[in-house]
Amino acid sequence: MAEPTPRVETDKLTAMYGKTTALRNVTLSFASNQVHALIGPSGCGKSTFLRTLNRMHELSEGGWITGRVLLDGQDIYDPGVNAMQLRRKVGMVFQRPTPFPTMSVFENVAAGLRVNGRLSGSQLADIVERSLRHAALWDEVKDRLKVNAMALSGGQQQRLCIARTIAPSPEVVLLDEPTSSLDPQGTQRIEELLFELKREYTIVIVTHNMQQAARVSDTTSFFYLGAMVESGPTRQMFTAPRSEQTEAYITGRFG
Amino acid sequence: MNRRAIRRLASNVMVGLMVLAVVLAVLPLFFILLHLVLKGASSLSWDFFTKMPVPAGETGGGVANAIVGTLIIVGTASLIGVPVGVGAGIYCAEYPHSRLTWLSRFVADVMNGTPSIVVGVFAWTWIVARQKHFSALAGSVALALLMVPMVMRTTEEMIKLVPNSLREAALALGYPRWRTSLSVVVPTTLPGIVTGTLLAVARIAGETAPLLFTALGSQYLSFRINQPMAALPLTVFTYATGPYEEWHRFAWAAALVLILVVLLLGVGARLAIGRSSVANG
Amino acid sequence: MTTATPPAHASSGAGRSRIPLSLRGAAYGDRVFNLVLICAAALIPILLGFLVYELWTGSQLAMQKFGLDFVVTSVWDPVAGQFGAFPLIFGTLLSSLIALAIAVPLSLGVAIYLTEFAPRVVRQPVAFLIGLLAAIPSVVYGLWGIFVLVPVLRKTAFPFLRDVLGFLPIFQGPIYGPSMLAAGIILAIMVMPYVMSVSREVLLAVPNSQREAALALGATRWEAVVTAVLPYARSGIVGAIILGLGRALGETMAVTMLIGNRHEIAASLFAPGYTMAAAIANEFSEAATDLHFAALTYVAFLLFVLTVLVNAGARLLIWRVARGSGAGSKAL
């Protein structure tokens, strides 16, 4: 049986900032509708890797890559590709919640929808509601849609950012340590959310919390010092890792 | 007295002198405001605000033409100066490493220190000399030139306060750079930009020197920016240095109005910054 | 080393569409946006360049006729076509020096007090009040000067100075009221807020460790300031003073209303004088000949160069002490 094309693939991806190499020769593939975790100690390159997947890496000072990154088999770094359109297909949620402070809850969720042409008021409202439901936030804000987004709690703001990211129906959702600034309840809400979200989207999540990776992901990739050391199904990675470094990290001997 | 006590005494004497300095420094402020009110308030009347000046030496009349003139000249200057200043400020904030940014900032600093009369001479040679007549427009251009560096600096500083994470969030949604700036960054700092603009307007509203030989002043009410126009600071100057008692009284009253306008703009500016979402959020 | 990922379920929901291609990846909107911004930013150096150009060409008639002698001759006769700016330059420098002599001790005293000694409650209000002084338009200072300050000076302070210090030539001669000294005093009041606020920023930039080290050695508060804080902040304070000088050099309205407006150099501070800015203000709208305009433009050009040099020197000094803290940028 032929394997379907993985949703996201990288092929000998090397990422640099100016002359400094942050990632060397990473070849990975991520299947659809799964949660893929990237783990590793601080500074190992996992966030840099994530940012190459939606071409945010090149927005950093001196950021550039060699190698390929493929979305559904198409090289996203092809010169003909519109980076902005790409980012509408590959969304990103950041470490700290970043709702747009001058906009209401509704406006924040709708923010990504306004770029691609006009939608009628009712279409907009439908999508906003759907996104908020998917982000497990609808019940808490349905009476407060016009309230300024900064009035929400930290955990709610992060779920709002998730709703904002999925509103334009991306194919892939990237999350960069999305729960590191939240309390345990907020963290749990978002982890539960990931189980729901993977039904519609392909998820790649960077986390420095190994237990989180073990809880939520289908596959895990271990990064260390700019190289991708090992990657595989999560259960296998955590019970029988092949590499000594992986085992050392997972058992807490460093990082 | 032992040495330590003498040193203590010396220290206290110096503090006393410094407090005296503070008092001396603040005293003129009180006296100026006091005299403005004492000598100017009595001339403030409905007529003062609504009537035209009467022929020299006669009593009565008002400074309506100067009030309207100031509004027009300052308004036109703002229409020119604010877009340029804000645009330049956004550019410098979004592209901090560009050479143009360095050059603009440097030049803006030079212009900030340039005497306003020199800017007036420039406006004269550029516009008045070529058109061969005085005009309010030349005055507005001179004031706009004074305004631009101020607005540019404050806009740039305000935009730099916006955390980069906000920009990234917008870019990650697929926003083009221009939309990131206009829909997310600028609205977030809008109160700060408004404050900077209002402060700059307050500064130029009181400027006299650049108008002396551009807008020139006028006895009549005019709405034509291509002709000489009256302005409140010019009125204060002409009346204060003139020979008539009535003029002197009007000079005080006009100065009082001018100060009130400047202070109100300043207060308005502070109120705007109080509602800054960047400061709160 | 990668492992094959398990076969995915058939995808649901979003289809696998290709990413739309576009030319060069950069949006048209971004290019327009950048162009507009670049125009705005570029306009500023262009305008300054234009200003220098216009001042230069506008002075040509006078520059060619008088050359650098303009700076050292004193005859100013529009009718005869003779112009010499030395009294103007002299008056500009002298009035500014008088202003600094009065303002600097005051400003420093206030700045040191507010930074080092004042109780916390007092700091903001006092700084605010002094900031208000900076907001008063020059012409209002002039008005107050003509009708309040000068009469008071003429009746009390000036005669007092003449009685007590009349052996000095600068305090001799008839007292009219409008004079170099009166202009210097009003300039002092106007310049004081700037020197004060920049000095204060400079002093605040001095690290606390300096003060604490002196206090730990047993110094009184005042001694700590003199021995530890001031030397550290010295170049910054000098910068603040020079900034004040730059302000004073260019002040126009208040000066022209109080200085007497005479193209003369006198020994006495009670005598009227003139400054570059005041001369331009007074004569420009009434000049009749091209040469007169050119001479005044020449004066404006010289004033411009003078203030640019002084301000550049000031900023350099301030930057050395308070680098990166932005001190001084708001003072302008």
A126 has a pLDDT exceeding 70: yes
User: Closest Cα to residue A246, out of A38, A43, A50?
Assistant: A38
pLDDT tens track for C141-173: 999 999 999 999 999 999 999 999 988 888 988
Backbone φ and ψ for A43, nearest 5 degrees, come out as: 80, 10
Q: What is the mean pLDDT of residues A42-48?
A: 87
User: Closest Cα to residue A152, out of A196, A191, A193, A108?
Assistant: A108
The answer to whether the CB of B209 falls within 8 A of the CB of C257 is no
Top-tier CATH class for A8-95+171-250: alpha beta
The answer to whether the CB of C206 falls within 8 A of the CB of C232 is yes
pLDDT tens track for C13-60: 334 445 554 444 456 788 889 999 999 999 999 999 999 999 999 999
pTM of the predicted model, to two decimals? 0.86
pLDDT tens track for A190-214: 898 898 888 889 999 999 888 899 9
Backbone φ and ψ for A4, nearest 5 degrees, come out as: -65, 155
pLDDT of the residue at A233: 92
Task: Calculate how close chain C gets to A183, using CA atoms only, in Å.
Answer: 32
pLDDT of the residue at B275: 54
Tell me how crowded residue B133 is: count the other CB atoms within 10 A of its CB.
13
CA distances from B268 to B70, B78, B197, B200, B260 (A): 19, 16, 11, 12, 12
The answer to whether the CB of C293 falls within 8 A of the CB of B121 is no
pLDDT tens track for C266-285: 889 999 999 999 999 999 98
C10 has a pLDDT exceeding 50: no
CATH number for the domain running over B46-280: 1.10.3720.10
d(CA B184, CA B165) in angstroms, rounded, equals: 11
Q: Which residues of chain B have pLDDT under 50?
A: 276-281
Chain B hits for C109, Cβ within 8 Å: 17-18, 20-22
pLDDT of the residue at C323: 61
pLDDT of the residue at C15: 40
Sign of the Cα pseudo-torsion (B230, B233, B234, B235, in order) = positive
CA distances from A22 to A8, A14, A132 (A): 20, 8, 36
Strand partners, A70: A9, A75
Contact call for A81 and C19, based on CB within 8 A: yes
A180 has a pLDDT exceeding 70: yes
Which residues from A are below 8 Å from B when comparing CB atoms? 54, 56, 59, 84-88, 91-92, 94, 96, 98, 100-102, 111-112, 115-116, 150, 161, 164-165, 168
d(CA A171, CA A91) in angstroms, rounded, equals: 8
Least confident of A52-56, C83-87, C226-230: C226-230
pLDDT tens track for C291-318: 999 999 999 999 999 999 998 888 787 7
The answer to whether the CB of C254 falls within 8 A of the CB of C138 is yes
Task: Calculate how close chain C gets to A198, using CA atoms only, in Å.
Answer: 10
pLDDT of the residue at B139: 95
Q: What is the mean pLDDT of residues A57-84?
A: 88
* Residue ranges of domains in chain A: 8-95+171-250
pLDDT of the residue at C319: 72
**Length of chain C, please?**
332
Task: Quickly tell me which residue has 């509408």 as its tokens.
Answer: A88
Please give the domain boundaries of chain C with CATH numbers for all domains.
87-284+306-321 (1.10.3720.10)
Angle between helices B232-240 and B245-274 (to 10 degrees): 150
pLDDT of the residue at C37: 94
Contact call for A150 and B280, based on CB within 8 A: yes
pLDDT of the residue at A114: 82
pLDDT of the residue at C211: 86
Contact call for C11 and A32, based on CB within 8 A: yes
Chain B hits for A168, Cβ within 8 Å: 173-174
DSSP alpha helices (H): ranges in chain A? 46-53, 83-89, 105-110, 121-134, 138-141, 154-166, 184-197, 210-216, 234-239, 244-250
pLDDT tens track for A85-97: 899 899 999 999 9
The answer to whether the CB of A69 falls within 8 A of the CB of A52 is yes
Query: CB of B92 within 8 Å of any CB in chain C?
Result: yes
Written as one letter, the residue type at C185 is: I
Terminal Cα distance for chain B, rounded:
58
pLDDT of the residue at C7: 34
* Residue ranges of domains in chain B: 3-43, 46-280
The answer to whether the CB of A191 falls within 8 A of the CB of A155 is no
